[in-house]
């Protein structure tokens, strides 16, 4: 995936951007998985390997890279373009600032809870 410069993000705005994502994902550890994998402490985890979540697409199961904020920033722009067989329903977050805010929220949510 092509490298892009990520602007500084605001976690409070990111919480609002994350609202529609909650249809399938949670950012709180205690909530577990939903229709999509739990995103608590997602950064540093191998893509497609969340224990207890068995609904990854074949491309995600075969992936051999680790989620970083920078990778997620690029991926969220258009998830289906990066992994066409993805089971993710979202069309992504095309606005760079909103993506950065969303990532700032996920970082903050991962630090706040055990």
d(Cα 104, Cα 99) in Å, to the nearest integer?
9
Nearest to 4 by CA among 103, 84, 91, 87: 103
What pLDDT is recorded for position 110? Answer: 84
Q: What are phi and psi of 46, to 5 degrees?
A: -70, 135
pLDDT exceeds cutoff 60 at 74: yes
pLDDT-based confidence at residue 3 (cuts at 50, 70, 90) = low
CATH classification (class only), 11-112: mainly alpha
Q: Which pTM value belongs to this model?
A: 0.89
What pLDDT is recorded for position 68? Answer: 95
Q: Where are the domains of the chain?
A: 11-112
Cβ neighbours around 34 below 10 Å, total: 15
Cα atoms found within 13 Å of the Cα of residue 66, Cβ hemisphere only: 5
Q: Tokens 């410069």, residue?
A: 5
What pLDDT is recorded for position 72? Answer: 94
pLDDT exceeds cutoff 90 at 13: yes
């Amino acid at each position: 995936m092509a490298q892009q410069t990520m602007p500084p993000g605001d976690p409070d705005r990111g919480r609002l951007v994350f609202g529609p994502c909650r249809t399938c994902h949670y950012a709180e550890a205690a909530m577990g998985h939903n229709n999509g994998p739990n995103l608590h402490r997602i950064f540093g985890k191998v893509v497609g390997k969340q224990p207890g979540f068995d609904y990854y697409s074949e491309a995600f199961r075969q992936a051999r890279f680790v989620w970083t904020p920078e990778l997620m920033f690029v991926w969220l722009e258009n998830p289906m373009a990066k992994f066409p067989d993805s089971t993710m329903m979202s069309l992504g977050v095309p606005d760079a600032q909103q993506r950065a805010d969303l990532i700032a929220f996920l970082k903050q949510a991962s630090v706040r809870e055990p």
